[in-house]
């Protein structure tokens, strides 16, 4: 019995993913492995993030189109495309996008704090997936999600 428990613990350690956030932690849409973006339920998702507890703070939100290039030789490459949505001075730590996004596409989003004319860096995250003796790392990324097919 002890041996099986140790084997299970080793499997968990070999496939462990680690996510860390810079500036602000997103709550919704969830983020994780950037190779498998979480799907939102609607084409007009509500973005949520942890509130910053300081006086006079508002938030700026930006959404970018995602670019996904698939190649037989190089696999899948993703990058941030053009800006498609921006709101400044949001009073709450959430915002429902006012324009419908395209179905079946990937998008990036990020948020920053604003206090008068002073703004923070845009929020980003790092993701590392340990695969036994190998690992996959994506650093300093905006948050990625995909829209449902409709």
Task: Kindly report, residue by residue over 114-129, the tens digit of the pLDDT.
Answer: 998 899 999 988 777 6
Encode pLDDT of 8-52 as tens digits: 444 444 455 576 566 799 999 988 777 889 999 999 999 999 999
Encode pLDDT of 51-96 as tens digits: 998 899 999 999 999 988 877 777 777 888 999 999 999 999 999 9
Domain that holds residue 60: 2-146
The answer, yes or no, to whether residue 150 has pLDDT greater than 90, is no
Indicate the pairing of strand 58-71 with strand 46-49.
unpaired
Global pTM exceeds 0.85: no
CB 57 within 8 A of CB 24: no
pLDDT-derived band at 135 (thresholds 50, 70, 90) equals low
pLDDT value of residue 14: 46
Buried-exposed string 82-106: b where 16+ CB fall within 10 A, e elsewhere: eeebeeeeeeebebebeeebeeeeb
Q: What is the CATH number of the domain that holds 102?
A: 2.60.40.10
| Structural domain count of the chain | 1
Indicate the pairing of strand 143-146 with strand 38-39.
parallel
CB 59 within 8 A of CB 93: yes
Instruction: Give the closest residue to 27 by CA, choosing from 15, 17, 38, 18.
Output: 38
> Residue 14, SS3?
helix
């Amino acid at each position: 019995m002890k041996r099986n428990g140790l084997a299970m613990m080793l499997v968990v350690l070999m496939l462990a993913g680690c996510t860390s956030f810079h500036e602000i932690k997103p709550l919704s849409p969830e983020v994780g492995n950037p190779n498998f973006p979480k799907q939102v339920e609607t084409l007009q998702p509500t973005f949520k993030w942890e509130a910053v507890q300081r006086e006079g703070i508002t938030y700026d939100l930006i959404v970018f189109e995602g670019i996904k290039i698939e190649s037989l030789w190089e696999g899948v490459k993703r990058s941030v495309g053009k800006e498609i949505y921006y709101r400044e001075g949001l009073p709450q730590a959430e915002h429902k996008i006012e324009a419908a996004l395209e179905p079946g596409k990937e998008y990036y989003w990020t948020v920053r704090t604003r206090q008068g004319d002073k703004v923070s860096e845009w929020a980003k995250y790092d993701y590392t997936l340990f695969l036994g003796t190998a690992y996959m790392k994506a650093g300093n990324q905006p948050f990625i999600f995909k829209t449902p097919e409709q």
